[in-house]
């Protein structure tokens, strides 16, 4: 029986891979990965966040660093490639959540039929 479940799960995975939501998500990921400006900003963000952690642990004032980090975050989030990626990720996640909900509903429906 569990082999049949795995088989159906693989079929679902293949079906999800064929959706426009998945294809757009993959394309948006590629565009984000190849956006050199955003990648530079992400590295800078990561480096600054690590520096802030160290300063915080040593009791240094991090207020100005946090303001700078927030500005950098806004720049990243506002970039075209990040906006596209975030939108595509959300749409694909919604599709997967809908599929999961359908599975749960089918399981609950079978439980009700047994009662």
Summarised one tens digit per residue, pLDDT across range 35-54 is 999 999 999 999 999 999 99
Structure tokens at 84: 């596209």
Percent of the chain with pLDDT over 90: 92
**Per-residue confidence band for 109, with pLDDT thresholds at 50, 70 and 90:** confident
Give pLDDT tens digits for 72-99: 999 999 999 999 999 999 999 999 999 9
Cα 32 to Cα 87: distance, rounded to the nearest angstrom: 12
pTM of the model: 0.80
**Per-residue confidence band for 113, with pLDDT thresholds at 50, 70 and 90:** low
Whole-angstrom Cα Rg for the chain: 21
Cα 77 to Cα 85: distance, rounded to the nearest angstrom: 10
Contact between 82 and 32 (Cβ < 8 Å):
yes
Please determine, for residue 110, whether its predicted confidence score (pLDDT) is greater than 90. no
Give the rounded distance of the alpha carbon of 32 from its chain centre. Answer: 12
Cα 113 to Cα 77: distance, rounded to the nearest angstrom: 48
């Amino acid at each position: 029986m569990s082999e049949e479940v795995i088989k159906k799960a693989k079929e679902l995975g293949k079906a999800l891979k064929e959706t426009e939501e998945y294809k757009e998500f993959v394309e948006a990921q590629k565009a984000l990965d190849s956006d050199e400006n955003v990648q530079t900003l992400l590295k800078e963000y990561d480096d600054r966040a690590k520096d802030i952690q160290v300063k915080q642990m040593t009791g240094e004032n991090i207020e100005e660093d946090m303001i700078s980090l927030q500005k950098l975050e806004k720049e990243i989030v506002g970039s075209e490639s990040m906006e596209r990626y975030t939108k595509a990720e959300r749409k694909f996640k919604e599709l997967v959540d809908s599929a999961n909900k359908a599975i749960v509903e089918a399981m609950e429906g079978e439980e009700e039929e047994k009662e």
